[in-house]
Chain A
Amino acid sequence: MKAWWTLAAAGVAAVVAFGTGLAVGLPPVQTEKPRRNSWEVSALFPTPVIGAGVAVVLDRLIGAYWPVLGVVSGVFAAVFVKNIEKVFPRPDQG
């Protein structure tokens, strides 16, 4: 069933995104407290969400072999999150 392969790609992407995020120097979780107000990004949030979401998009658009999609999406997510401030800068405080 098609949806299961999409989910498999998303799962691989989330795991690869977390691992690659750690490898590129993201902290495992937000270090600022309280975390719910922190603008800091980490390997746990939002990297796996972006990786899984991109894997779903690529699966629908390209439909390549699911492990390849997962790895590519995961690596992309980690690099994107590492540089997220250049795309979505945090608002001025105060």
Chain B
Amino acid sequence: MAWLNFVLIDILMGLPEGPGVEGARAIAESVEERGGDISGGYFMGNIVCSPDASAGTLLASVGYVCMGIPGGILAALGVYIGNRLCADPGYAGTTGSLTATALVTLYDKVLGMDPTCFVAGMVIAITTLHGLDHPRASRLLGDMARRLNRGPKT
């Protein structure tokens, strides 16, 4: 759930369309040189260079564990400020925080799942994209982006 929340929100908010900063472009070109997909590379570069829905999902989960729903709202504010400091208009991170708060609340209150599972799930989700195999992860992300009409602009 954490993986789907952050990947879908980030793709829909246009992270695979282009680099937000030069660092993201450098990461994308490096991934492409190693056989990866430039669109997925932009996605991976952008989530490194700015707190997007990945950080939003993680921080909202942590906030929920600490303070309940108000913790998720506080995470959204913190992520938005972080976005503005990182040359990012903030749509992906803020939306990701709020949807993650809704999801964790639903799973905690309705299904009785321990909210700390979302924290662990988000760490595993980031590891699958950034910790195992960059070219394969970027091809998966690029394919998803094109299917959702969010492929690279150039």
Contacts and interface: CB of A to CB of B under 8 A. Distances in A.
Interface string B91-134: 11010001000000000000000000000000000000000000
Given A37-B14, A53-B74, 16 more contacts: A3-B68, A3-B70, A7-B69, A36-B12, A36-B91, A37-B89, A38-B89, A39-B89, A49-B94, A49-B98, A52-B77, A56-B67, A56-B74, A56-B77, A59-B70, A91-B87
Nearest to A53: B77
Contact of B94 (A7, A45, A59): A45
A56 B94 contact: no
Interface residues on A, range: 20 to 34
A43 B73 CA distance: 17
Nearest to A87: B84
Given A7-B69, A7-B70, A91-B87, A34 B76 contact: no
Interface string B12-46: 11100000010000000000000000000000000
Contact of B80 (A3, A35, A49, A91): A49
Contact of B90 (A3, A46, A54): A46
A88 B68 CA distance: 29
Give 10 closest A-B pairs by Cβ, nearest first.
A53-B77, A88-B84, A91-B87, A6-B70, A56-B70, A3-B68, A36-B14, A56-B74, A52-B73, A36-B13
B148 interface: no
